Amino acid sequence: MREKLLLAGLYLSKYDALGLKKLGFDSFVEAFNVIGYALGAKPASIKNYRDEFDPFFPNQRVGWHKRLLRDHCRRVLEAHKHTDLETFCSLLKALIGYDDNAWSELKLQDEQESDDSFFARRLITGLAAENYFESVHSALPQFKGYKLENTTRLGCGYDFRLRAPTVKDFLAVEVKGFQSRTGSLSLTPKEYEVAGLLSDRFFLFVVKNFQESPFHDIYQNPRSAELRFTKKERIIIQVSWLANV
């Protein structure tokens, strides 16, 4: 884990504003928040490592220039100080757990955003928001005493299942993330169906404002009157190539 944080800090120090743009972030604060939570760490950890490497690169920050670089940081610096932007960016995406090929299948044909901005958005709506929920759920009254199970890869219509020893029925939590304080969210047909079936046992957990300071809102039984969903349909043409062998 520490090496991933080191590499993220080194990348942001070495490539500065260009590195932010390549990842699709608008500011360092947003990058610290999103990458930090995506890696299961505090955002301040990413900032601290960036500051530690700053004295070795020509940017406008002073960094921690008054102390010697620690040995584990020096090893990472020596290994990657000459790594080019494209290679370093791909390495960082892989370490975070982002698969360009897998996510590209989710992009709709009429989406005009670049692959780089798509990376930032997918982290916010995926790993960063989910890890934020994992980090705070035990302190929330709705879920206190419940044991958490990650179901993001099971295709069951929600991201987390929560069970308590004294409660028969489980709770389901679907997590969404916003870059800003407000935004629009969408539910897949499966998520929408399960939300209706589980009713009060289904929670929509929305993490907002990754661009500044993340906070969350919780919607129990989101298909109730509190949220108004409208159905949106679109046709997607998928192309594949076949060969006989």
Same domain, 12 and 89: yes
**173 has a pLDDT exceeding 50:** yes
The Cα 239–Cα 237 span in angstroms is 7
What average pLDDT does the segment 207-211 reach? 97
Q: Would you say residue 155 lies in a domain?
A: yes
Q: Would you say residue 196 lies in a domain?
A: yes
**37 has a pLDDT exceeding 80:** yes
Residues in contact with 117: Cβ distance below 8 Å, sequence separation at least 6, in sequence order: 24
The CATH number covering residue 171 comes to 3.40.1350
Same domain, 154 and 72: no
> Quick one: pLDDT band at residue 8, thresholds 50, 70, 90?
very high
The three-state secondary structure class of 173 is: strand
| The pLDDT value given to residue 98 | 62
Same domain, 167 and 86: no
Same domain, 171 and 91: no
- Answer yes or no: are the C-beta atoms of 116 and 25 closer than 8 Å: no
Q: Would you say residue 113 lies in a domain?
A: no
**189 has a pLDDT exceeding 80:** yes
**39 has a pLDDT exceeding 50:** yes
84-91: long-range contacts (C-beta < 8 A, 24 or more apart)? 85/15, 85/18, 85/19, 85/22, 88/11, 88/14, 88/15, 88/19, 89/11, 89/19, 89/22, 89/23, 91/7
Q: Would you say residue 228 lies in a domain?
A: no
Same domain, 6 and 92: yes
What average pLDDT does the segment 114-123 reach? 76
By percentage, how much of the chain surpasses pLDDT 90?
68
For 171, the domain range is 138-220
> Quick one: pLDDT band at residue 115, thresholds 50, 70, 90?
low
Among 221, 135, 125, smallest CA distance to 148 is for: 135
> Quick one: pLDDT band at residue 240, thresholds 50, 70, 90?
confident
| The pLDDT value given to residue 133 | 97
- The interaxial angle of helices 28-38 and 2-23, nearest 10 deg, is 140
For the chain, the domain total comes to: 2
> Quick one: pLDDT band at residue 51, thresholds 50, 70, 90?
very high
| The pLDDT value given to residue 86 | 94
Same domain, 214 and 163: yes
What average pLDDT does the segment 24-39 reach? 96
Q: Would you say residue 109 lies in a domain?
A: no
Rg from Cα positions in the chain: 20
Q: Would you say residue 66 lies in a domain?
A: yes
Among 204, 187, 179, 172, smallest CA distance to 123 is for: 179
- What's the token pair of residue 35? 């990458």
151 or 66, which is more confident: 151
Same domain, 154 and 76: no
**101 has a pLDDT exceeding 70:** no
| The pLDDT value given to residue 131 | 96
> Quick one: pLDDT band at residue 116, thresholds 50, 70, 90?
low
> Quick one: pLDDT band at residue 111, thresholds 50, 70, 90?
low
> Quick one: pLDDT band at residue 99, thresholds 50, 70, 90?
low
Q: Would you say residue 50 lies in a domain?
A: yes
Q: Would you say residue 160 lies in a domain?
A: yes
**136 has a pLDDT exceeding 60:** yes
The Cα 4–Cα 10 span in angstroms is 10
Same domain, 25 and 93: yes
Same domain, 19 and 89: yes
Same domain, 83 and 153: no
The Cα 129–Cα 117 span in angstroms is 17
60-77 pLDDT, tens per residue?
888 777 788 899 999 999
8-state DSSP, 181: S
